[in-house]
């Protein structure tokens, strides 16, 4: 079966796509429990432990999104067990 794709699969990291999203995830580092659910559920792989390994007040390395590549789908917020992620209208 042949598909007519706009880009090859797996090339998202080569193209910044966050500029066209409608909603942006906002991560509350103090609510984050460091479970990694957001990282596992994100179809673009943009949720990761913060780059500097900083910890919240509970001593947990919290997760952050890479908004350059986030498409605003909201799966991270919908599946976060700690409700540490909310979706806000992008400005």
Global pTM value: 0.79
Domain membership of residue 24 (yes or no) is no
Whether 12 maps to a domain, the answer reads: no
Can you give the residue range of the structural domain that contains 82?
Answer: 29-89
pLDDT in tens, the chain (91 residues): 565 555 555 555 667 776 778 999 999 999 999 999 999 999 988 999 998 999 999 999 999 999 988 989 999 999 999 999 999 998 7
Pairing mode of beta strands 85-89, 63-65: unpaired
**Residue 38 counted as domain residue:** yes
Q: Which pLDDT belongs to residue 2?
A: 60
Total domains, the chain: 1
CATH number at residue 82: 3.30.70.3270
Residue 22 in domain:
no
Which has the closest alpha carbon to 49: 13, 60, 76, 21? 60
Burial class of residue 7 (count of CB atoms within 10 Å of its CB; 0-12, 13-18, 19+)? exposed
In a domain, 77, yes or no: yes
């Amino acid at each position: 079966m042949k598909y007519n794709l706009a880009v090859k699969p797996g090339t998202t990291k080569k193209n910044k796509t966050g500029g066209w999203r409608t909603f942006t995830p906002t991560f509350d580092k103090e609510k984050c429990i460091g479970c990694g659910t957001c990282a596992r559920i994100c179809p673009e792989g943009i949720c990761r432990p913060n780059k500097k390994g900083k910890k919240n007040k509970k001593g947990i390395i919290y997760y952050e999104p890479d908004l350059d590549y986030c498409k605003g789908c909201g799966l991270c917020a919908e599946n976060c067990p700690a409700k540490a992620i909310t979706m806000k209208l992008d400005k």
